[in-house]
Every structure is written in C-alpha cells, then in structure tokens.
C-alpha cells in the first residue's frame, strides 16, 4: 500500500491516463484522473468549462480538485498537462506526494494526439504543442522524482511504471 500520493505528470498525449490506469490496475493501487474527476464532479466537459469560465476558471477548479484529492487514500493520480504550471499546485505536489514524469518525445505525441477535446491545442496543434513543450518540460523535469520515457510500445511504459510503483513506492 502506498504511503503517499503518486502524481503522474507530462505533456498532453504523453500517455498519463492510459499508462497510469493500466499500471495502477497491475500494481493494485487506486487510480484517479484529475481531468475526469473535474468533469464528473462539475457535470461539464473540460472544453465546456474553458468556454464558460475561461482558462483561469478552469485552473481554479483544478487547484481545488487537486487539494481535495490529496486527502484521499494514497494512490496514483494522473494530472492534466497544465496542472504543474501553477506554483500553488507545485506546492501541493511537493507537500503531499511524489512526482513521476511520463516523458514522451514530441514526435510521438504528434503521431497519436487527438486535439479535438483539448482546448489549448485547437488552433495549429503542432505549433502550440511545441510551444507548450518548451514552456512546460523544464517545470516537469524540476518537479520529477522519477522520469520514465514513453517512446516505445504502451506495454513497455506500463511495465516501467508498475516496476517503479512496486520497487520505489512499495505498492
């Protein structure tokens, strides 16, 4: 059983939700996706939240949700790509758990990324993703206790995360 929350961070399309969900199941730890939880509790899809409340409104909801989720039984929590960019969220991550960066090369992200439901990637997704990558990766790397490279098969990334959860965090 985990003693602290494990936060999974990375770029949109890095595989946080898919890899995290599968690895948590195999390691027998609980899994929550922050964006899914926000959608479920707000009754709105993320794009609709952005449209109605703007990015600033969504980010306030995100911080509140993150603070709430840290107090649940420790497990693996997949965060939205922008979550670690807020200094308040970074304090929460450091205070309440450990951070695993799922690092996927931008070329691999672009091969598989569905941009329709991603408000920040609607216009010129390739250019915007490159801008976000340049802005976010230094922050992600500074936060990460562990970095896992997701540049191969999905099953390899899942296996690596399961090993880290069991070996380092005693899941």
Query: Percent of the chain having pLDDT more than 90?
Result: 81
CB atoms within 10 A of CB 1: 11
CB atoms within 10 A of CB 134: 10
158, containing H or E segment:
helix 154-167
Helix axes 154-167, 16-27, angle to 10 degrees: 50
pLDDT digits (tens, 9 = 90+) for 123-165: 777 788 889 999 999 999 999 999 999 998 999 999 999 999 9
Closest by Cα among 145, 6, 141, 2 to 70:
6
Superfamily in which the 5-167 domain is placed by CATH: P-loop containing nucleotide triphosphate hydrolases (3.40.50.300)
Residue 25: C-alpha distances to residues 6, 18, 62, 92, 121 (Å): 14, 11, 24, 25, 30
**Partners of 97 in the β-ladder:** 5
At 121 the pLDDT is: 60
Which pTM does this prediction carry? 0.92
pLDDT digits (tens, 9 = 90+) for 96-114: 999 999 999 988 887 776 5
pLDDT digits (tens, 9 = 90+) for 42-80: 999 999 999 999 999 999 999 999 999 999 999 999 999
Boundaries of every domain in the chain = 5-167
Edge-to-edge strand ranges of the sheet holding 5-9: 31-33, 76-78, 5-9, 97-103, 146-149
- Cα gap 11→81, rounded to integer Å: 5
């Amino acid at each position: 059983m985990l003693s602290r929350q494990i936060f999974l961070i990375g770029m949109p399309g890095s595989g946080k939700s898919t890899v995290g969900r599968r690895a948590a199941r195999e390691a027998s730890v609980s899994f929550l996706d922050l964006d899914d939880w926000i959608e479920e509790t707000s009754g709105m899809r993320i794009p609709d939240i952005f449209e109605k409340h703007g990015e600033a409104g969504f980010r306030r909801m995100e911080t509140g949700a993150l603070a709430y989720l840290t107090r649940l039984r420790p497990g693996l929590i997949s965060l939205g790509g922008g979550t670690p960019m807020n200094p308040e969220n970074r304090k929460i991550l450091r205070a309440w758990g450990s951070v695993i960066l799922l690092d996927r090369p931008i070329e691999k992200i672009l091969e598989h990324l569905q941009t329709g439901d991603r408000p920040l990637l609607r216009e010129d997704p390739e250019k915007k993703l490159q801008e976000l990558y340049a802005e976010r990766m230094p922050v992600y790397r500074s936060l990460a206790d562990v970095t896992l490279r997701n540049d191969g098969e999905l099953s390899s990334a899942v296996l690596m995360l399961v090993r880290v959860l069991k070996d380092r965090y005693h899941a």
